Amino acid sequence: MSDILLDLAQNPRARKLIQSAGLPIPMPAQLLRQRGPAVERPLMDQAVLVGGNGELTAVIARTLIIAGGNPWLAAAQLEGPFKELGEAYGRLPKIVSEPELGENTKASLSSMVFDATGLQSPAELDAVYGFFHPWLSQLRKNARIVVIARPHESASSAPAAAARSALEGFTRSLAKELGKKGINANLIRVEEGADDRVAGVLRFLLSPACTFVTAQPITVSGAAKFDGEVSWVRPLAGKVALITGAARGIGAATAEIMAAEGAHVVCLDRPEDDGPASQIARKIGGSVLLADVSDPEAPTSISRALKEQHGGVDIVVHNAGVTRDKTLARMKQALWDQAIDINLAAVERITTELLKGTLNDGGRIVNLSSIAGIAGNVGQTNYAASKSGIVGLTKFLARHVADRGITVNAIAPGFIETRLTAAIPVMIREAGRRMSALGQGGQPEDVGQAINFLCTPAAAGVTGNIIRVCGGALIGA
């Protein structure tokens, strides 16, 4: 489905005419998306400004330099770790003060990273303002901003807890201020003892793969056991991934992305969708598994097929779902039951069965929630209940399988351009597109990239998270 405003925004003459006329028409930016599988150096030759005076300077230095970035440092005291590694990789850090405003320096930054792990009081938030304020005008379109902090729950004093918590409101607001340029801003909360698991998350949030993930806090912990190796290229090589609802939309996009990253993808869908499911499987070199997830026998049959045909499974993506929209007063019992059973109860039944021995240790589970399950929506009490239930299920499972090295997370998409949103009345669809910081709808592959990241070894520190792929939704997210 074509987005007229996005098309207009790419026409310089139309954009100039609308702006000169002073018309209150939003002009969304063309978003930079990852094309093809992950690369070793996603930040190749990009200028990344680093500030703060926290505990993760060495981790940030290693992550950025190995990813190919050119580090600019806002303070000389940060130079040590960057200089040592930069000499080995030929990427020596550059110490900068305030930008030299001029044509040659305009829009020179690709990313900004602020280490706030050392903040101990609200007064120290001045450092956040001092870092970002002079440099925001230097950010390119589609730039990335990441703030790194400790969780406020683990603070040892009231002032420290207040300062840490303030960073979430700051990051969300900054994301919404800069979204019109396609710029993302996100917060990483790093629990004590999990510093060695930050690199993968930071790389993802600075890359084109996180296009529609903005204004989000992501917690990194050491909860899930992990003693494996992280590979930045083809990280899913040798893995078997089950994706439900794989015939179309988000499921099909995720299947293609995971296959490109090395996984053998089992495309599960209803027997009625044998045609499109088989087409996707052939395209990516995967296999087909036909089952109705609402069938009481589905958990057993799915588990048996995965064991017999693949020796088990490493990744499970619960994407299958339905909408049965009606206001509660007009909703029939059957519509309520279908939404709850397919979107929530079936996820629990299948997961419980797979955890009995079919899902391998060190595996990954990703459940599909929705911002409707977080914020609620008119005419979707059944759907919102089911998707909110996914949040509780995800957090519960994450705690109970961590000792097996299994991570469990949920993705909550916002307005995504699929056949379902294409059927929405035009005015409602247009409003849905604009109600986000990025001012446009996301694409199925935007959700697929977030799902794919959570399934890689690099995301071993991310479990029990609910990550919204919503472009920075202005309401409820």
Residue with tokens 């087409």: 279
Say how far apart CA 62 and CA 221 lie, in whole Å: 19
Dihedral sign (CA 89, 95, 100, 106): positive
Q: Which amino acids are annotated catalytic? A: 383
Say how far apart CA 91 and CA 408 lie, in whole Å: 37
Q: What is the dihedral of CA 63, 69, 75, 76, to 10 degrees?
A: 90
- Residue 180 has what DSSP assignment? G
Distance between terminal CA atoms of the chain? 25
Query: Helix (H, G, I), strand (E, B), or coil: what is residue 24?
Result: coil
Q: What is the dihedral of CA 447, 449, 455, 461, to 10 degrees?
A: -90
Say how far apart CA 461 and CA 457 lie, in whole Å: 9
Say how far apart CA 263 and CA 357 lie, in whole Å: 20
| Structure token pair of residue 288 | 């087909």
Name the H helices within 244-332.
249-260, 274-284, 298-310
**With contact defined as beta carbons under 8 Å apart, do 365 and 351 qualify?**
yes
| Structure token pair of residue 157 | 């004093």
What size, in residues, is the chain?
A: 477
Phi, psi of 214 (to 5 degrees): -150, 155
| Residue type at position 412 | A
